[in-house]
Structure 1
Amino acid sequence: MKNTSRILSIIGLAALMISSLPAAAHHAFSAEFDGDKPIEVKGIVTKLELINPHSWLYLDVKGADGKITNWGFEFGAPFSLKEKGITKATLAPGTVVNISGFRAKSGKDFGYAVTTTLADGRSIKTGGAQDAPTTAPANAR
Structure 2
Amino acid sequence: MKKRNIFIAVSLLTAINGVSIEAHHANSLYDRSTDITISGTVSKWQFINPHAGLWLDIMGENEEKQEWSAEFQGTLDLYRHFKFNKDTFKPGDAITLIGHPARTGGPTISTRIVIFADGTEVDVRSAPD
Q: Tell me which interval the TM-score lies in, with the shorter structure as reference length.
A: 0.7 to 0.9
Q: 1:69 aligns with which of 56, 66, 70?
A: 66
Give the aligned partner of residue 26 of structure 2: 28
Percent of residue pairs bearing the same amino acid type: 28
Take 1:87 and 1:112, find their aligned partners in 2: how far apart are those partners?
18
Give the aligned partner of residue 13 of structure 1: 4
Give the aligned partner of residue 83 of structure 2: 85
Q: What SS class does the counterpart of residue 106 from structure 1 fall into?
A: coil
How far 1:126 moved relative to its partner? 2.5
Tell whether 2:40 aligns with 1:49. Answer: no
Unaligned runs of 5+ in 1: 1-8, 129-141
How far 1:32 moved relative to its partner? 0.7
How far 1:15 moved relative to its partner? 4.7
Higher RCO by CA contacts (8 Å cutoff, separation 6 or greater): 1
How far 1:127 moved relative to its partner? 3.9
Take 2:97 and 2:3, find their aligned partners in 1: how far apart are those partners?
51
Give the aligned partner of residue 132 of structure 1: none
Q: TM-score, normalised by structure 2?
A: 0.77
How far 1:16 moved relative to its partner? 5.1
Unaligned runs of 5+ in 2: 12-20
Aligned length: 116
Tell whether 2:101 aligns with 1:110. Answer: no
How far 1:55 moved relative to its partner? 0.8
